[in-house]
Amino acid sequence: MIQSIQKVSEMKEAMKGKDFLTLAEFSTEEIHYLLKEAVELKKLQKQGIPHEELKGKVLGMIFEKSSTRTRVSFEVAMLQLGGHALFLSSKDIQLGRGETIEDTAQVLSGYLDGVMIRTFGHETIERFASASSIPIINGLTDTHHPAQILADLLTIMEHKGELSGLKAAYFGDGNNVAHSLIEGAAKVGMHFTIACPPGYEPDEAIVSKAKEVGKETGAVITVTVDPFEAAKDADVIITDVWASMGQEEEQEAREGVFEPYQVNEELCINANKKYIFMHCLPAHRGEEVTSEIIDGSHSVVYQEAENRLHAQKALLKLLLKS
């Protein structure tokens, strides 16, 4: 027990001040501890017990991409933790325009206790973090969406009681959500299959690294073009929009390519009878998922959305707390 307490203390100390750019940069133990903290913080909120552990702390939130869930969840998270969140639109600051990314990072490091960034290129957030002296959190880039996947793992754990050994299947584009799901599943020992059309596969380097991690955790990572193969016996069915933000001009062309990967009743009949359906939202009903599925008894999309708040509170608490 003493060794266990000491290990937790060392892990918490190691996470303090750390950047959160991808799930690949966090250990299995750290991810599980974040989820444990999220469960406890959710209980406190539901019971109406104050937990202002970041009193006096200020989080800057830089948005180059618009958002509903990311902005509201991070802002409310800081408020409930006793801190403050400062919204910084890319239209109102000099990030990457009249001032270098590195200069902006160093200036904001003198004002704030942490920065959450929702942007396009992943290189932007990497450059920002390399020049910053405060924790930088990835609210979304074109390559990764780790904050969302923390909430997804929390949701799966709440419904299934465990993560290791489960089978999750994702249908659609090998995008930022898919990349972070691959990384998260590998870390927690959850089997993960992504079904996508040729030419839309996830990044090979991310898949390869996740497979190596899976050798240690027991996770099997699979990429296939067959949606019915992916759905077979799945405990978790996941999808995302076919054209992400910034890909709107590809929408019509993608609809024809991705139609066989729609999550519908015919596909889900192959899944475990007690499967849960997840979508990070917003959803395009009738495209990547039918209304019968997203509004059906297996759907947990609104709990998943709420869990953004609780997972991010855990993240903020552990990264920003003095």
Which of these, 316, 261, 289, 318, lies nearest to 73 by C-alpha position? 316
Please tell me which residue in 69, 118, 191, 254 is annotated as part of the active site: 118
**Which of 129, 146, 159 lies closest to 280, judged by CA?**
146
- Note if 118 is an active site residue: yes
Choose the catalytic residue: 298, 308, 310, 312.
308
Catalytic residue among 69, 144, 145, 179: 145
Going by the DSSP 8-state scheme, the letter that residue 108 receives in this structure is H
CB 201 within 8 A of CB 224: no
Q: What share of the chain is helix, strand, coil (3-state, %, to 5)?
A: 50, 15, 35
- Catalytic entry in 280, 298, 310, 312: 280
Specify whether 145 is catalytic.
yes
| Closest-CA residue to 280 (of 173, 206, 208) | 173
Active site residue 284: no
Catalytic residue of the set 122, 142, 240, 279: 240
Among the options 19, 80, 148, 235, which is catalytic? 148
308 catalytic per annotation: yes
Could you please report the per-residue DSSP string of 219-231? --EEEES-HHHHH
The SS3 assignment for 27 reads: coil
Q: What is the dihedral of CA 95, 98, 103, 109, to 10 degrees?
A: -50
Cβ-contact 286, 129 below 8 angstroms: no
Catalytic residues: 118, 145, 148, 240, 280, 308
